[in-house]
Structure 1
Amino acid sequence: MTISVVVADDQELVRSGFALILDTQPDIEVVAEAADGRAAIDAVRAHAPDVALLDIRMPGTDGIAAAREICARTDTRALMLTTFDQDDYVYDALRAGASGFLLKDVRRDDLVHAVRVVAAGEALLAPTVTRRLIGDVLDGRPRVRDAPALGALTERERQTLTLVGRGLSNAEIAAALVVSEHTVKTHVSNVLAKLGARDRVQAVIAAYESGLIVPGA
């Protein structure tokens, strides 16, 4: 199955570069490019892509405002790109419904991987962003969601959430728990539903907030 992508960035060379990288992949097709958030929204409406790759800072309607409308009104998943590694952008992007957040100095292979991960329905943050986000949660600073009670989770679901929080993929979790990958997907879906979490990122934050996962453990 081909992953369709809209690329939005106000810098033409950057936008074209990302589009070129993605278009060279056999399973990815860039269906449109946009120079601002409003054009990105229009392109998403016209093409219904799997992923919208959005620069955060664009003239007029910025990437976060575009992500908010795209995620609220369509099934397209938003992957944010920025040169600024600042916490406020992370929180705003996640609140807007974004499924991924990468810095613009991302390596080619990591960019392609991020598009595939987000298109598959999972969430992805740059490692530096993840560390800072979790650090802020533990320090009691503004957070994406309030800490939920984990009492509704079964023991296996708690184990699954712990491994998700340690950054393991579904395949790695399946190997660790000696179960099928399909079973892991079921556990992850149950965890998200019970915690009221939109994606794996919010579930990980919940795990740290609740003390289920201790940094450095």
Structure 2
Amino acid sequence: MKKFLSVLFLALLFNCNNQAQTNPKQEAIKTATPVTVALENGKAKAYFASGCFWCVEAVYESVKGVDEVINGYAGGHTQNPTYEKSNTGQTGHAEAVEVIYDPNIVSFETLLDVYFASQNPTQVNGQGPDRGSQYRSIIFYQNQEQKEIIDAKKKALAEKLNSTVAAEVYPFLKFWIAEDYHQDYEKLHPENPYIQNVSIPRLNKFKSKMPEVLK
């Protein structure tokens, strides 16, 4: 009986997660008109999801021209997502980052190159040990020009790898800032086992691939 209940629970959980990604509200998010974020003091903003946001934050903060990276949630159909809610897989949101950068120093195209170089581009619904729709890879575009750049790079990478690139492409609508304790996590908690065993190795692997973009 206990084994049966465990299997039933997993089946229901998978079904809930699947419905969260395919329900009409979530489908509407994917086809909505993107929101363009205006420059502020000459700085632009870009949005990416690529597994645990602690890892992605550290990667982008190592890049020349990036002023700040903020952790949060994007891509879902619910309002005011939290860490606990997004982890259920039912909000449609993924852990994401807001990258604040100087477009005179680093281009959106380079940020995309950083994105693909810092992950396993073929892993679906997760990165490394982090699995689930809340850890899926998403690139957010703010206008048609960005979408065309994303589509072209994604296609070229797929041809190079001879494999499907897992990253979804969404119109940017809203970025919800995560709880304070998630910000600057790798800097503030260098001895955390996850940081030691997952985040830092991922950062170092990226650095070895693109040393020319590092601060």
TM-score of the two chains, using structure 1 as the length reference: 0.24
More helix by share: 1
More strand by share: 2
Higher relative contact order (CA 8 A, sep 6+): 2
